[in-house]
Amino acid sequence: MPSDAWNAFIESPGPKVVSAGAGPLGGRRLAVKDIYDVAGYVTGRGNPDWKGEASPAARTAPSVQVLLDAGAEFIGKTQTDELAFSLTGDNAHYPRPVNPAAPDRVTGGSSSGSAAAVAAGLADIATGSDTGGSIRGPASFCGLIGLRATHGLISLEGTMALSRSLDTFGWFARDMELYERVASLLLPDSDARFTRVMRLPEMEALLLGPDEREVYETMLAKARSVTGASADIALESLDVDQRYWCFRNIQAHEAWREHGAWLSAKDRNLGPGVKERFDYGATIDLQAFEEETRRRQNLTREVEDLLGDDGLILMPTMPGAAPLAKASFEAIQDYRERALRMLCLSGLTGLPQLTLPMATVSNAPFGLSLFGPAGSDRALLRLGRRILDLVHGS
């Protein structure tokens, strides 16, 4: 395992993991978030109790195996927030991963170690997952490319589930050429053409302040020089707060359904925030979950109709730069609640969202997102490449 001053890794590789050594990812270093099975290793899930009780995986998660079969070299398991149920990158049981792009700020989570490993140059590719924003948030915070793929397109076999109707496989990389190379192995191609460009003022209102708004408008102008002019839109079926609660209640109910029996068997010493989120999930009954699911379906139909097969929404990925690592627990929780109001649209609808490392604010990375129709993932990546080429002057 590479020297890790960034607290990115939880376990180094051994002889049981086999890479093809050749292929489109030959010579590329791969780090794997510790919710994905890798043959011969215990999948720790960010919780020492789980790691101490579990057996080593018999086989590697198929989506990870695809990357190994393409020649990627496994270099280690990376940290995850506890049971992947957090957005900050802070696990009470392990040293906090350091954000290489802004060392005084958090990496974001729950794919914290993977984002740190790629941003630090320790890995070329690192797998993560995105349930509530755990690819998009860390990518924006650490200056990386990150796609929340269309829900269900990439296999989650051999993966710890958190909220099955929201969970997605994802990965980080620093450059679009490599990101698209991975996408070509995991995702079907798309011939989507984005001829109608939109923006959501209600999302932009969640930006932290005037500095963030100014930088966002600059990013938006650069993107629109590639995509064309945009029109303001509003969503009618659920407002920002209603979407947040719909997302939170569905996620919490499914997370408790997934892990409640294990958590109830004895005290698992969950860290602050994570414990409260699971406790909340125990209070969401089936009737409430089904009502939220109906609301979610109405929202999804509205957004799908709005996008059609050629619509694109431009939006901020996060409210601003990553919170300072020394910020209070309460301040980071406040940021989290604001961020989830931005992030939950993609999760609730299952539609793809790509964050691009476009700018900085407060001397830290800040991303712009492209949000498109179901299955348009690789078309979003091609558009993202054109935008980044413009930003970098190539």
Orientation angle between helical segments 240-265 and 329-349, nearest 10 degrees: 100
What is the pLDDT averaged over residues 324-331?
Answer: 95
- pLDDT tens figures, 274-320: 999 999 999 999 999 999 999 999 999 999 999 999 999 999 999 99
* pLDDT of 36 higher than 80: yes
Give the gyration radius of the chain's Cα atoms: 19
On whether the CB atoms of residues 86 and 273 are closer than 8 A, the answer is yes
Give me the pLDDT at residue 12, please: 74
Give me the pLDDT at residue 11, please: 80
What is the pLDDT averaged over residues 35-55?
Answer: 96
Give me the pLDDT at residue 1, please: 40
Q: Which residues pair with 368 in a beta bridge?
A: 316, 356
Give me the pLDDT at residue 15, please: 53
User: Residue 53 class from Cβ within 10 Å (0-12 exposed, 13-18 middle, 19+ buried)?
Assistant: exposed
The C-alpha angle 376, 379, 385, rounded to 5 degrees, equals 140
Give me the pLDDT at residue 16, please: 57
DSSP annotation of 118: H
What is the pLDDT averaged over residues 124-153?
Answer: 98
Q: What is the mean pLDDT of the chain?
A: 96
* All domains in the chain, ordered by first residue: 1-394 (3.90.1300.10)
What is the pLDDT averaged over residues 12-24?
Answer: 73
DSSP annotation of 82: G
* pLDDT of 394 higher than 60: no
Please state, as a whole number, how many other Cβ atoms lie within 10 Å of the Cβ of residue 216. Answer: 22
Q: Which of 213, 209, 217, 173 shows the shortest CA–CA distance to 355?
A: 173
Q: Which of 187, 231, 219 shows the shortest CA–CA distance to 356?
A: 219
User: Residue 79 class from Cβ within 10 Å (0-12 exposed, 13-18 middle, 19+ buried)?
Assistant: buried
Give me the pLDDT at residue 392, please: 85
* pLDDT of 172 higher than 90: yes
Which residues belong to the active site? 33, 110, 134
Whole-number Å distance between alpha carbons of 27 and 261: 42
The C-alpha angle 86, 90, 96, rounded to 5 degrees, equals 150
3-state secondary structure 281-307: HCCCCHHHHHHHHHHHHHHHHHHHHHH
Give me the pLDDT at residue 387, please: 98
What is the pLDDT averaged over residues 47-60?
Answer: 96
What is the pLDDT averaged over residues 122-146?
Answer: 98
Give me the pLDDT at residue 14, please: 60
Whole-number Å distance between alpha carbons of 244 and 140: 20
* pLDDT of 114 higher than 60: yes
Whole-number Å distance between alpha carbons of 344 and 243: 7
On whether the CB atoms of residues 381 and 179 are closer than 8 A, the answer is yes
What is the pLDDT averaged over residues 233-252?
Answer: 97
Token readout for 140 is 């924006």
On whether the CB atoms of residues 107 and 144 are closer than 8 A, the answer is no
Whole-number Å distance between alpha carbons of 89 and 66: 27
Q: What is the largest CA-CA distance in the chain?
A: 57
Cα 30 to its chain centre, rounded Å, is 17
Give me the pLDDT at residue 57, please: 96
Q: Which of 167, 209, 169 shows the shortest CA–CA distance to 186?
A: 169
What is the pLDDT averaged over residues 345-350?
Answer: 98
* pLDDT of 41 higher than 50: yes
